[in-house]
């Protein structure tokens, strides 16, 4: 398997099927009880030029970010992940999966200078602070 020369690429090798229930309530969460290995390739936040180069961001999340006016990674600096989440909810006219907030928390943290972490590392913080309380959308 060839990885891109820039950005983060997540590789998952599962040791068994993901048939077990989710641990944090998110629909597409990698089940860490069945995850054999998790590898995150590093890239410099100074050289990330595309949204897809960010940790935890693929094509769909990049499109969501563009929908709310974020077109390049540098625009995430100083942003409030909760505000980004609610802007996306308002733009789409529906409440987004709360794990989207976890992803936003991870990429804002990364662009602020923190180390890259998988999005589910932010789930406990989101739940503890109840950041995702539904608003009328």
CA distances from 8 to 34, 44, 57, 73 (A): 22, 9, 9, 13
Query: How confident is residue 42, by pLDDT bands cut at 50, 70 and 90?
Result: low
pLDDT at site 101 = 95
> Would you say residue 94 has pLDDT above 70?
yes
Q: What is the DSSP letter of 96?
A: P
What is the value of pTM for the model shown?
Answer: 0.70
Q: C-alpha angle 104/71/68, rounded to 5°?
A: 60
Give me the mean pLDDT over the 67-96 stretch. Answer: 96
**pLDDT single digits (tens) 47-66:** 899 999 999 999 999 999 99
């Amino acid at each position: 398997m060839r990885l891109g020369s820039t950005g983060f690429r997540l590789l998952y090798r599962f040791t068994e099927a993901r048939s077990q229930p989710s641990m944090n309530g998110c629909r597409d969460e990698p089940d860490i009880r069945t995850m054999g290995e998790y590898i995150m390739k590093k890239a410099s936040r100074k050289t990330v030029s595309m949204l897809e180069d960010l940790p935890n961001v693929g094509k769909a999340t990049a499109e969501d970010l563009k929908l709310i006016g974020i077109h390049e990674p540098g625009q995430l600096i100083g942003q409030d992940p909760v505000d980004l989440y609610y802007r996306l909810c308002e733009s789409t006219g529906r409440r987004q999966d709360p794990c989207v907030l976890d992803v936003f928390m991870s990429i804002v943290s990364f662009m602020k200078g923190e180390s890259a972490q998988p999005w589910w590392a932010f789930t406990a913080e989101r739940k503890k602070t109840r950041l995702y309380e539904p608003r009328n959308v």
